[in-house]
Amino acid sequence: MSVGDVRKRLREALADLDRETFLEALNEALQAGIDVDIIVFEDMSAAMDEIGRRFESGEYFIADLLYAAEIFKEAMRILEPYIVKKHSSGEIERGVVILGTVKGDIHDIGKNLVAVLLKLRGFRVIDLGVDVPPEKFVEAAEKYKPQIIGLSALLTTAIPSMRETIEALRRAGVKAKIMVGGAALSKEIAREIGADYYAENAVEAVRLAEMIVENGG
């Protein structure tokens, strides 16, 4: 089977929620030496987008989204050693990052990916979880004095709560740079709601975080 065929099978099996075929294809992809970033950020992410589309069209239900998240997380456990090998820099004490999905939103797969990669690059990550209200971010910022605060949102309806969080952090005089990401965001929205940085994916988030600490915050 060609690399193209394996990748197609991987995408289709995850989109179809066919766990067994997906895990088989994942194994084949790893055996074929396909880069872990391509597997996660291209193929698995594209399959999750397709699952979202099937949900929107009424073909899939909430239970299917939950099952998709379960399969995704299972794959991440299998991929962990490959991710460590690819992304670990061996550095420590690079800086502190507070992360969380904003109030009203409970999606956490993307945020967790950002957390994993940041840790592998030597950042200390304080993960506040999901559905985090603005005051929790402010409290954590005052306690941990981070260089960066990362906010995630996948729901369009969570954008106002992201804006409120940024406003609350600014009002409290928090000096950390604010980075935002997630499917609900774009560069334009990020600018409009007052964020300092927008990252399209987890690799970009880490690249920006490294740049921020190298430039002294």
Q: Which is nearer to ligand B1M, 25 or 151 (CB)?
A: 151
Give me the least distance between CB of 91 and ligand B1M, in Å please: 20
111 binds ligand B1M (CB under 6 A): yes
Give me the least distance between CB of 140 and ligand B1M, in Å please: 14
Of positions 95, 134, 146, 150, contacts ligand B1M by CB under 6 A: 150
Ranges within 28-47 binding ligand B1M (CB under 6 A):
41, 45
- First CA to last CA across the chain, in angstroms? 48
Q: Which is nearer to ligand B1M, 114 or 176 (CB)?
A: 114
Tokens of 75: 């794959």
Taking CB under 6 A as the rule, which mask of x and - marks residues 193-212 in contact with ligand B1M? ------x-xx--x-------
Give me the least distance between CB of 75 and ligand B1M, in Å please: 11
In sequence order, what are the beta bridge partners of 178? 149
Distance, in Å, from the CA atom of 99 to the CA atom of 202, rounded to the nearest integer, reads 12
Give me the least distance between CB of 1 and ligand B1M, in Å please: 25
Tokens of 129: 């979880």
Burial of 171 (0-12, 13-18, 19+ CB in 10 A): exposed
68 binds ligand B1M (CB under 6 A): yes
Q: How many residues does the chain have?
A: 217
Of positions 6, 14, 87, 108, contacts ligand B1M by CB under 6 A: 108
**Which stretch, 14-22, 76-84, 135-143, 178-186, contacts ligand B1M (CB under 6 A)?**
178-186
**φ, ψ dihedrals at 176, nearest 5°:** -60, 150
Q: How many residues in the shown chain lie near ligand B1M by CB under 6 A?
A: 41
- Scanning 16-144, the segments in alpha helix (DSSP H) are 19-31, 36-37, 45-56, 62-87, 109-120, 134-144
Torsion of CA 71, 72, 76, 82, to 10 degrees: 110
106 binds ligand B1M (CB under 6 A): yes
Distance, in Å, from the CA atom of 94 to the CA atom of 133, rounded to the nearest integer, reads 27
Cβ distance 48 to 56 under 8 Å? no
Give me the least distance between CB of 100 and ligand B1M, in Å please: 9
Q: Give the 3-state secondary structure of residue 154.
A: coil
State the residues that interact with ligand B1M by CB under 6 A. 41, 45, 48-49, 51-53, 55-56, 62, 65-66, 68-69, 104-111, 113-114, 150-152, 154-157, 179-184, 199, 201-202, 205
